[in-house]
Amino acid sequence: MLNEKNKYLGYANLLIHSFAVAHAAVVALFSYFNLPDEVPLTILTVLMIILVVRLYKFPYDLSAVLSLMFCFGGFFLGTKGGELMSNHTTGFWHDYANVIVTFLVTEMVGWVAYLIAKNLHIKQSDN
């Protein structure tokens, strides 16, 4: 039995893993067609964070600033991480460095957002 605080763990798992896969797919697809992926990645990141934190009724104003921060943080972590990985690896890891790093960064951002919302959850709150 999951307790009150962990009752949305299943939903969070589903959301974060799905969005991480979606992020990775977008990076792979857009780089294949040589298109900029900023817009779809931003939309996906903001959607993921808002959906995850709203499971615990996290206020929208904080959800928005959190999304904004994670978008920038994710962008810098993703681009720098991708560069770092592709510079230090060869073969599959080099070719798919951006895809792998995007997947990992999305997972990290999603779970950090989940932990923040879970730990600041007011059970009776409806706002």
113 binds other proteins (CB under 8 A): no
Q: 54, 85, 89, 107: which one contacts other proteins (CB under 8 A)? A: 54
Q: 21, 29, 35, 64: which one contacts other proteins (CB under 8 A)? A: 64
Q: 29, 60, 80, 88: which one contacts other proteins (CB under 8 A)? A: 60
- The distance from CA 3 to its chain's CA centroid, rounded to whole angstroms, is 25
Contact between 117 and 8 under an 8 Å Cβ cutoff? The reply is no
Q: What is the DSSP letter of 7?
A: T
111 binds other proteins (CB under 8 A): no
Cα 123 to Cα 4, 8, 23, 62, distances in angstroms: 8, 13, 32, 17
Contact between 99 and 85 under an 8 Å Cβ cutoff? The reply is no
- Summarize as ranges the residues that interact with other proteins (CB under 8 A): 8, 11, 14-15, 38-39, 42-43, 46-47, 50-51, 54-55, 59-69, 71-72, 75, 116, 119-122, 124-125, 127
